[in-house]
Chains A and B, each alone.
Chain A
Amino acid sequence: MTMQWLQDREIAIVACADTKPVKRSGKTALELAGEVTDTLLRSAGIERDRIDGLAATPANSEAYNPFWTSMLADALGLSVGWSQVTDIGGASIIGNILRAGAAVHAGLCEMVLCIAADAPSTQFFAKQSGFRAEFCDPFGYSVLPLSFALLTSAYAARYGSPDRGLARLAVTQRNGALLNDRACDYLRVPLTEEDYLASRMISHPLRLLDCVMRCDGANAFLVTSSRMAREMGCAAPVHPIAYRECINFDPKNAVDDITLTGFTQAGPAALRDAGLAPADIQSFHPYDDFYIAILLQLEQIGFCRRGQASDFIREHNVGIGGDLPINTGGGQISAGQPGLANGGVNLIEAVRQLRGEAGPRQLAEASNAMVTGIGVIQYARNWGCSNVIILERGA
């Protein structure tokens, strides 16, 4: 497998936009999609008729609609030659950047709107079927945190409690959100490690402050060829230079450790493609529905050895100005998770860092960044989808 066109810097993200996450906004996903598209078009300075590709994520709040990209295109006044919905959960948005790039590379379209909008705290219609309905829900499966509690249990049995590293992460990300006026206001209050450790158990050993808070919001990215970016006079293109994904890790139960995920494959492969070592990554924007997921990613992508992530976090500065800044804008846990616009929260922060638009959070060294995604929990094991994108600031 090779994606040389990424390493050739053939593709560019030329604009990005988001709405501020709000709990129970009362809006629909289409309204939020309209707001974010309007902001995107203004900031990019392009006519909407230049957009000829559309990549979306589904919306929990509109889950009954099987014609989602047509509905979106019509609401937004777009007519395109290529569209798709990507259904790999929190991996969908960086997955869409890659799919949009591939469509441009293949000549299907030239200018792709990658959009995610969801209002799950206003209305929620998504329903998981199959094993989840038949072999989980009737047996006491209630909320997603319990799956991550089970992973934490398996991890702690192998390596010891990761509490101290989790507490440090919680404070670090909250400090980022305090400097990020695009983070959900509800979450922008100072936090200490003691606050984290004292927060109530949702599903032991997982605490309330381990978990994302679901809210409403949208984000959007414009993906085109680097040639087109130059023609447009784009001042700050961001190139995806490597991407790997693993959908449905270990279906045959060959791996004797449920804490292992597709990041063991996708992480090292993406770094190899980019010609980078973990220590070369200037900021890391891991998908964070629960903090334990960041620990697993640090180890499995290769930033540290197995079982060492909690120590790694405490021995390094993972905040702004540190040697490996993590989720500088607060991540989803401290900025809010706008439903299936989830994966865009950390992506837009990485793009803003690379474009030099991160304001008080701006990193001194921001020429590359790694962003990841996670999707779905499979039966009695780990999350199914893992993906990694490495971004580079263009000239």
Chain B
Amino acid sequence: MSESRTPIVETDLTRPFWQATKQRRFLLQYDPKADRYQFYPRPISLYSTAPLVWREVKGEGTLIAHTLCHTPAPGFAALTPYILAIVQLAEGPRVFARVADAKYEELKVGQKMRIVWGDELGDGREYLFAPAN
């Protein structure tokens, strides 16, 4: 038996984000005063003292870095090797996630990516990146 995936443990702070993932919607925290987005969710705005609101975003962005991981995390053994990436969203924040529908050798830093949703890990709450085209 392989180990199971590290469970996502929601907090009061992050619950709106995880609730939205059930409808395959990706939310960022938004500071309306500074007009800046942030991710991962923080307890306060990084940019001003304004209260944060949640905003849904399309999940389009640019590939910043990628790696082909041969050393799986718990629950990922059957997917190994798998691609992990950092993508900078159009709204600014960077997001770390796995890449779907791509060959490692064909990915290029700078290419356009978009967030997709995966079911391979069971509960459907996995956001991944895929090439935009």
Binding site for B on A (CB under 8 A): 131, 133-143, 145-146, 149-151, 153-154, 157, 200-206, 251-253, 258, 379-381
Contacts and interface: CB of A to CB of B under 8 A. Distances in A.
Nearest to A202: B71
B96 interface: yes
28 contacts: A131-B40, A133-B9, A134-B14, A136-B96, A138-B5, A138-B8, A140-B82, A140-B84, A146-B71, A146-B84, A151-B65, A153-B66, A154-B64, A154-B86, A157-B110, A201-B70, A202-B70, A202-B71, A203-B69, A203-B70, A203-B71, A204-B68, A206-B67, A253-B46, A258-B65, A258-B94, A379-B96, A381-B94
B72 interface: yes
A133 B14 CA distance: 13
B126 interface: yes
B84 A150 contact: yes
A251 B7 contact: no
B40 A138 contact: no
A258 B86 contact: yes
B110 A140 contact: no
B94 A139 contact: no
Contact of A380 (B69, B96, B108): B96
Interface in B67-115: 67-74, 76, 79, 81-82, 84-86, 92-98, 104, 108-110
A202 B81 CA distance: 10
B68 A380 contact: no
Contacts of B14: 134
Across the A-B interface, give the 7 residue pairs with the lowest CB-CB distance, nearest first: A157-B109, A149-B67, A204-B68, A380-B94, A142-B73, A137-B6, A154-B65
B5 A203 contact: no
B71 to A, nearest CB: 5
A153 B65 contact: yes
A142 B7 contact: no
Given A138-B8, A139-B96, A140-B84, A154 B109 contact: yes
A150 B86 contact: yes
Nearest to B67: A149
A139 B126 contact: yes
A145 B65 CA distance: 14
A150 B46 contact: no
B35 to A, nearest CB: 13
A131 B96 CA distance: 11
B6 A252 contact: no
A221 B79 CA distance: 46
Nearest to A148: B67
